[in-house]
Amino acid sequence: MLRWYHVLLVCVLFIAVNAQSMERTGGYARVVSMGNNPYLVDTEGIKLNPAWPSVYHDFLWGDLGSNSGPAFGNSSAGQFAGLNVSITDQVVVGALLTRNDFNSFSIGTLDPGNLVNQLNNTNINPQAVPLNNNLELLAAFKLGMLTLGAGVAYAATSSENTPAGGQTTTASASQFGVNVGVLVNFTKRMMLDAGVSFMMPSASFEPPQGNSTELSQTIIGVAARFFLPLSQKIRFVPTALFVTASGTRDAGGTSTDLPSATVIGAGFGIEYSTGDFLLVGGPAFSSASSTNSAVPNVSPEFSTSALVFPIWNLGAEWMALDWLVARLGYTAATGNATFETPAAVTTINERSNTIYSPLGATVGIGLRFGDFSFDATINTDVLRQGLNNIGGGGPTFAYISSSYAF
């Protein structure tokens, strides 16, 4: 459940993108710097809605990743590369190459249900190799006020063991993903942004004799946003999200259900922009649940759930200089989680407690050198250390994204 709670936060924080501006800059570092803000126009939207390459055309982008820290993962985590190229004025194609530490929850995310680990925990030999280096292909088609997009991704691994004079045993894993999206520009400032994603990870073990073991999962995600102008400077941005996952485990000729999960979220953002200043944010709520099916004569059905409200994502951005963008953000969330555990074949124990988000204040910068952009979330320890930074060895940036518009 804890893994799905983190997926819940990621999904709510990155439901899609909106439309303060159409500059071809940005990235994950910018979004984090502005309080994990889900109400930003940013390249992050490409990951969830493949119609967005029509806006971010002729664009090379990616993340250099993080250094360290609980908010950003292990050293160099989150690196990826992407490219979008215009074929005609109406058609843009693109590609993303992602790793198994991809930050955003999309078809570029590999094995979110940890199927490989579940398979390997059965002490099989050879062990299945975790998925990595996922390739995603994108295409966007602009038809007047309507833009359609589609994406497909695939990754696979295999492992074989053939003892001297024996037969070959194999373990493998794969994931196929597809998503579709739409952008509808009713007016210059009124827009609908929606996407649907399907992910199908699997892992299997094939002995030379006897029954095989296979784990498979289906994950479906739907995200939508609507941008409603209230004035020349203010826009209301409601968002909605739904994610569901289910799967099966076939072992020894017996099929059992894997834990199922559901995530539901909604946000209510306000965008205020004037000149070179942007203020954006608002509250959101989300719920997540994970259910383990009953095992006959072993345990009853039990579940874990979380309701998080409010989730606050607040961010500000302004052009300090022609080449320097300054950013501030704040993220806070409060909720309640309920945990059920089997006590006997037919009874369960239940406990609940308050939960909080792991993030707080964030600071970031953006550097603009012609068509090249460098965006970074600043390690806040640098600000607290003051003069100790002289001769110190602490990292300056917590996360870095970069892009080039050509």
Q: pLDDT, tens digit, for every residue of 299-337?
A: 888 899 999 999 999 999 999 999 999 999 999 999 999
Q: β-strand 234-251 against 134-143: which pairing, if any?
A: unpaired
- Give me 378's structure tokens: 């600043």
Top-confidence residue, 336 or 14: 336
**Look-up of token digits 């072993």:** 298
Tell me the C-alpha distance between 363 and 295, whole Å: 49
Q: How confident is the model at residue 255 (pLDDT cuts 50, 70, 90)?
A: confident
- The confidence score (pLDDT) of residue 111 equals 94
Q: For residue range 179-234, what is the model confidence (pLDDT) as tens digits?
A: 999 999 999 899 999 999 999 999 999 988 878 899 999 999 999 999 999 999 99
Chain mean position to CA 340:
27
DSSP helix, strand, coil percent of the chain (3-state; round to 5): 10, 55, 35
- Centre a 10 Å sphere on the Cβ of residue 3 and count the other Cβ atoms it contains: 12
- The confidence score (pLDDT) of residue 392 equals 61
- Give me 181's structure tokens: 């999206």
Q: Are 233 and 272 in contact (CB under 8 A)?
A: yes
Q: How confident is the model at residue 76 (pLDDT cuts 50, 70, 90)?
A: low
Q: For residue range 19-64, what is the model confidence (pLDDT) as tens digits?
A: 344 578 889 999 999 999 989 889 999 999 999 999 999 999 999 8
Structure letter (DSSP) for residue 294: P
Chain mean position to CA 5:
13
- The confidence score (pLDDT) of residue 253 equals 79
Structure letter (DSSP) for residue 175: E
- The confidence score (pLDDT) of residue 195 equals 95
**Look-up of token digits 């126009």:** 41
**Look-up of token digits 């945990």:** 339
Decide if pLDDT at 11 tops 50. no
Q: How confident is the model at residue 12 (pLDDT cuts 50, 70, 90)?
A: very low
Pick left, alpha or beta for residue 272 (phi over 0 → left; psi -120 to 50 → alpha; otherwise beta).
beta
Residue type, 244: T
pTM for the model stands at: 0.85
Decide if pLDDT at 254 tops 90. no
Q: For residue range 127-162, what is the model confidence (pLDDT) as tens digits?
A: 999 999 999 999 999 999 999 999 999 999 999 998
- The confidence score (pLDDT) of residue 190 equals 94
Chain mean position to CA 295:
32
- The confidence score (pLDDT) of residue 13 equals 42
Top-confidence residue, 142 or 67: 142
- The confidence score (pLDDT) of residue 385 equals 67
- The confidence score (pLDDT) of residue 17 equals 38
Residue type, 291: T
Across 345-365, average pLDDT: 87
Top-confidence residue, 100 or 176: 176
Q: β-strand 254-257 against 260-274: which pairing, if any?
A: unpaired
Q: β-strand 397-405 against 260-274: which pairing, if any?
A: unpaired
Q: For residue range 99-136, what is the model confidence (pLDDT) as tens digits?
A: 988 888 899 999 999 999 999 998 788 899 999 999 99
E strands in 186-233 = 191-206, 213-229
Residues 6+ apart with CB under 8 A from 230: 236
In percent, the amount of the chain with pLDDT more than 70 equals 89
Tell me the C-alpha distance between 352 and 336, whole Å: 7
- The confidence score (pLDDT) of residue 77 equals 79
Across 283-290, average pLDDT: 95
Residues 6+ apart with CB under 8 A from 137: 93, 94, 95, 151, 152, 153
**Look-up of token digits 């999206």:** 181
Which residue ranges make up each domain of the chain? 2-405
Tell me the C-alpha distance between 168 and 207, whole Å: 7
Helix (H) or strand (E) holding 33: helix 28-33
